[in-house]
Structure 1
Amino acid sequence: MRPVGAGVPLRVEIADKTFHPAGGEPLTAVRDLSFEVRHGEFACLLGPSGCGKTTTLRILLGLDKHYTGSVQLPDGGRIAAVFQEPTLLPWRTVEENVRLAMPPEMRSKSLDALFETLGLSAMRKLYPSELSLGLARRAALARAFAIEPSILLLDEPFVSLDEQTAQRLRYLLLTVWSERPTTALMVTHNLNEALMLSDRIVVLSPRPAHVLGIFDVRLPREYRNPQVMNDLHLSFREKFPHTG
């Protein structure tokens, strides 16, 4: 895995990722998976549970190096990740959790605007145990954006939340991403979420994951009202009738 120059897209070419459990049969999670995310684009990896989406994200993060293929990262800068669980340090305040993730040379910069956007200004001195799950997820988003990443990877960050809370956080994610644009790739199995957030959707097959096709969402997000979302949903189902 090698970082590259500014403006270069994220390119993924995973020929094979097979797990070899002790005493068990080999399990191929990914095979012939190829896609790219353009510089500054928000893309979603959409596929059924267990198809290999998270495995792909782990490879992009460098957490799993045992695969055949190559990954090209944009910009050569910092990678930020938001996981299904907030993974905040319980003995640190919200602000301390965010600043600890920042490079030393950035830790003195103001976080006022970021916390204001995410509705965390009054929670800076609170500890994770004093937060609701929704607020903890906001803190995880703040931690990711505070490092000014060249690529943002999200692994179903709103899973297990009630729909009202999840929708509120989707809007917050869009707001903070629009103010601090970066190449973003989000794993989801929620079609409505993907249609709301992304510029393009990379549709994956059941395991072993490979790309079934690309669905581009060309409309600006401010025009994606309920009627438009319904039309997008119908268009997606026409192109991918056997998914989901």
Structure 2
Amino acid sequence: MQPVGAAAPLRVDIAEKTFRSSEGVSVTALKNLAFEVRQGEFACLVGPSGCGKTTTLRILLGLDTDFSGSFQMPASDDGRIAAVFQEPTLLPWRTVEQNVRLALPKAMRHTDLTRLFDSLGLSQMRELYPSELSLGLARRVALARAFAVEPTVLFLDEPFVSLDDQTAERLRYLVLSVWSARPTTALMVTHNVREALMLSDRIILLSARPAHVLGYFDIRIPRESRNPQVMSDLARSFRQKFPGVMQAEMGYP
């Protein structure tokens, strides 16, 4: 299948991003941060907690314009961008289906979402309200909302954080299933190396604050072939390339 997306990659070149702390101290979050995400690629932005990963995503989403540098989104006819945040941010007075459909552009408002709801295990929950959902199910709705718009670029900000291991693992496989049906350029923020090794084509490793790129780790093994032994081998290769990085905080002991 030909990946969906534009020919041009997502390009990021942030010279500097600073902010003022609650104590009034100027803090540099990002410094000379430059990387690319290729067409139809699922990339993971990995780094220690607090290094500036979410700040980077906020800049790319246009939620933070106070920085020096530039970025370039892949060009496309529709230019649709979707994001999944740590919190599902669902409207409590709307049903599951209404929350998803509200994100659709007018031309797609009547799209048949049956297959999408089926793939995410939400078929029996379309008429439920957010208050009737567990956190794991609410995260599924947030994922459905993002995938429903058929985005050119998909951003995910630690969408599995704070979930128990079993629920998080189930959601990872669901994301892979839905994304593989329509591959699009995706950038996911995580501090979990194991998660990145499971999901991505490329890991972009960031330093501690101020964040810059320490290096790349490309994974050419098909996802369906990443069994426990392969994952162990990938982890060992990653550890050899970036010694000292895989602390317990980042998904491996």
Partner of 2:250: none
CA distance in 1, matches of 2:198, 2:238: 13
CA distance in 2, matches of 1:31, 1:78: 28
Displacement of 1:153 in angstroms is: 0.2
CA distance in 2, matches of 1:195, 1:134: 22
Partner of 1:52: 52
CA distance in 1, matches of 2:22, 2:200: 39
Displacement of 1:181 in angstroms is: 1.1
Give a deviation string over 1:163-207, Cα, whole Å, max 9, x none: 000000000000000012110000000011000000000000000
Displacement of 1:127 in angstroms is: 0.2
- For residue 151 of structure 2, the aligned residue among 149, 152, 166 is 149
Is residue 71 of structure 1 aligned with residue 78 of structure 2?
no
Displacement of 1:122 in angstroms is: 0.4
Partner of 2:179: 177
Partner of 2:134: 132
Displacement of 1:20 in angstroms is: 2.7
Partner of 1:207: 209
CA distance in 1, matches of 2:45, 2:35: 10
- For residue 166 of structure 2, the aligned residue among 158, 164, 167 is 164
- Structure 1 gaps of 5+ residues are none
Displacement of 1:242 in angstroms is: 2.1
CA distance in 2, matches of 1:125, 1:104: 21
CA distance in 2, matches of 1:163, 1:73: 33
Is residue 24 of structure 1 aligned with residue 55 of structure 2?
no
Distance 1:90 1:241, change over 3 A: same
CA distance in 2, matches of 1:34, 1:98: 33
Secondary structure, counterpart of 2:102 in structure 1: helix
Displacement of 1:23 in angstroms is: 5.8
Partner of 1:61: 61
Which amino acid in structure 2 is aligned with residue 188 of structure 1? T
Distance 1:129 1:26, change over 3 A: same
Displacement of 1:21 in angstroms is: 4.3
Partner of 2:111: 109
Partner of 2:197: 195
CA distance in 1, matches of 2:181, 2:74: 19
Displacement of 1:19 in angstroms is: 0.5
CA distance in 2, matches of 1:166, 1:217: 21
CA distance in 2, matches of 1:41, 1:6: 11
Which amino acid in structure 1 is aligned with residue 197 of structure 2? L
Which amino acid in structure 1 is aligned with residue 68 of structure 2? T
CA distance in 1, matches of 2:95, 2:80: 23
Partner of 2:125: 123
CA distance in 1, matches of 2:201, 2:32: 23
Which amino acid in structure 2 is aligned with residue 18 of structure 1? T
Partner of 1:241: 243
TM-score, normalised to structure 2, is 0.93
- Structure 2 gaps of 5+ residues are 248-253
CA distance in 2, matches of 1:74, 1:177: 18
CA distance in 1, matches of 2:216, 2:102: 37
The count of residues paired between Structure 1 and Structure 2 equals 240
The alignment yields a C-alpha RMSD, in angstroms, of: 1.1
Displacement of 1:121 in angstroms is: 0.5
CA distance in 1, matches of 2:114, 2:171: 19
Displacement of 1:6 in angstroms is: 2.7
